[in-house]
Amino acid sequence: MRAMNRVAAIALHTFKEAVRDKVLYNLVVFALLLIGAAILFSSISVGIQQIIVVDLGLSSISVFGLIMAIFIGIGLVSKEIERHTIYHILSKPVRRVEFIVGKYLGLVLTLAINTAIMTVGFYLAIYYQKRSLGAEDLAPLSAIYFILLQLAIVVGLAIFFSCISTPVLSAVFTFCVYIIGHFLSEMRWLGTTLHSRVAKGATEVLYYLLPNLSDFDFITRTAHGEKISASLMVSNSLYALLYVTVLISASILIFEEREFK
């Protein structure tokens, strides 16, 4: 139980440290501005006003969420190692596992709250445009939930890379995997067209090894009023949970052996 309290303390202070960062403020403000601008864009287009607000609003949440996830994910773990603040924590009766788990939970909490703020902005934009909000407007929530799952994986990646690399390289690696994660099904398809069996096998392995982030992209479908099936909600949640567990376990394995010179 003491261990849980320590994890909670680490998570909470990670959150505190993150939300006071000026860069984070600016990102949230900018995202809200962009969501507001969606109203402007939609007013000059004909026929697809609603679609544009949803498209642009959700894309803003996704893009700024990504920037935040990488920014705070790297900033708060890699920098902690680089600047030696971690000495203070590990010299207290804290297991290294607790540090990693606490950090992760704190970062996800930060992202969840920021996403919530952006979501409120998003619904204000929709309300401004439609002058009403109905049950049918709940559909984007599931897309936002998927964005959040995606960000949870990205933060896991950021922590994982922070355990093995410098802050700048961690950011680069995380971003690269994010990009590749969106092209995995294409890459796999490409693999099936190749003649080399090795290449085919390699693309197949990568398909299951890397995070398949495009499975979480439902912005456009949501904009067209499509609903996400309950079973997909369950399997995607499960996928994110499992993948994050993999990343955190791997991080712990590395972190347990890591020496802070």
Partner 1 sequence: MLAIETINLTKDYSVGFWRKRPKRVLDGLSIEVKAGEIFGLLGPNGAGKSTTLKIFLRLIFPTLGTARILGKELDDISAHEQIGFLPENPYFYDNLTAEEFLNYAGELFGLPVAERQRRTARLLQQVGLEGARNVQVRKFSKGMVQRLGIGQALINDPELVFLDEPMSGLDPLGRREVRDLILSLKEKGKTVFFSTHILSDAEMLCDRVAILNRGRMQGCGELKEMLALGIASTEIVVVSPQQNLLDELKACGGACVRTGERVRVAIPKESEVSTALNKILQAGVEVVSVNPVKMSLEDYFMEQVGKDSVKRHEEELIAQTKGGR
Partner 2 sequence: MTAAAPLKSGRYATRGASWALLVLCFVALFGVQRQIDRETDMYSKINEVLYVRTGTTLRALCLGNEGLMADIYWTRVVQYFGRGHLEGGDTKYQLLAPLLRITTDLDPQLIIAYRFGAIFLMTNRPVGAGDPQSALQLIRRGIVANPDYWRFWQDIGFVYYWELHDYKSAARMFSIGSSRPGAPFWLKALAGTVAAKGGDLQTSRFLWSEIYRHADTDAVRSTAEAHLATLKARVDMDKLDDLLESYRTKTGRAAQSFYDLHSSGLLSGVPKDPSGVPYVINPDGHAALGKGSKVDLRLLQ
Contacts with partner 1, residue ranges (CB under 8 A): 2, 5-6, 9-10, 13, 16-17, 20-21, 83-85, 87-95, 259-261
Instruction: Please say whether the beta carbons of 62 and 150 come within 8 A.
Output: yes
Lay out the site mask for partner 2 across 22-61 (x = CB under 8 A, - = otherwise).
Answer: ---------------------------------x---x--
Lay out the site mask for partner 2 across 175-214 (x = CB under 8 A, - = otherwise).
Answer: --------x-xx--xx--x-------------xx---x-x
Minimum CB separation of residue 103 from partner 1 in Å reads 12
Q: Which does 238 bind (CB under 5 to 8 A by kind): partner 2, partner 1, none?
A: partner 2
How many whole angstroms separate alpha carbon 136 and alpha carbon 156?
Answer: 33
Q: Which tokens in the block code for residue 186? A: 């294409």
Q: Which does 45 bind (CB under 5 to 8 A by kind): partner 2, partner 1, none?
A: none
Minimum CB separation of residue 207 from partner 2 in Å reads 8
Position of tokens 């791997």? 250
Kindly list the residues in this chain that would bind partner 2 in the complex (CB under 8 A).
2, 55, 59, 93, 95-97, 183, 185-186, 189-190, 193, 207-208, 212, 214-215, 217-221, 229, 231-232, 235-236, 238-239, 242-243, 245-246, 249-250, 252-253, 256
